[in-house]
Amino acid sequence: MKFSRSRRTTLSLVRIPLVALIDVVLFLLMYFIMAGELASSGERWLSSTLRTDQRAAATNLQAQVLRVERALEGVVYSIGGRRVTSTPELMRILRALPKQAGVLVRVDGEVPVEHAARAVQACRDAGFDRVSYVPTTR
**pLDDT per residue rounded down to tens, the chain (138 residues):** 667 766 666 667 777 778 888 999 999 999 998 888 766 655 555 555 545 555 555 456 788 899 999 998 899 999 988 999 999 999 999 999 988 889 999 999 899 999 999 999 999 999 999 999 988 876
- Residue 91 CB partners (closer than 8 Å, separation 6+): 122, 125, 126
| pLDDT of res. 136 | 86
Residue pair 47/114 in contact (Cβ under 8 Å)? The answer is no
Give the residue among 96, 77, 79, 98 at the shortest CA–CA distance from 87.
77
Quote the crossing angle between the two packed helices 113-125 and 87-95, to the nearest 10°.
30
> Which numeric CATH code is attached to 60-136?
3.30.420.40
What's the whole-model pTM score? 0.55
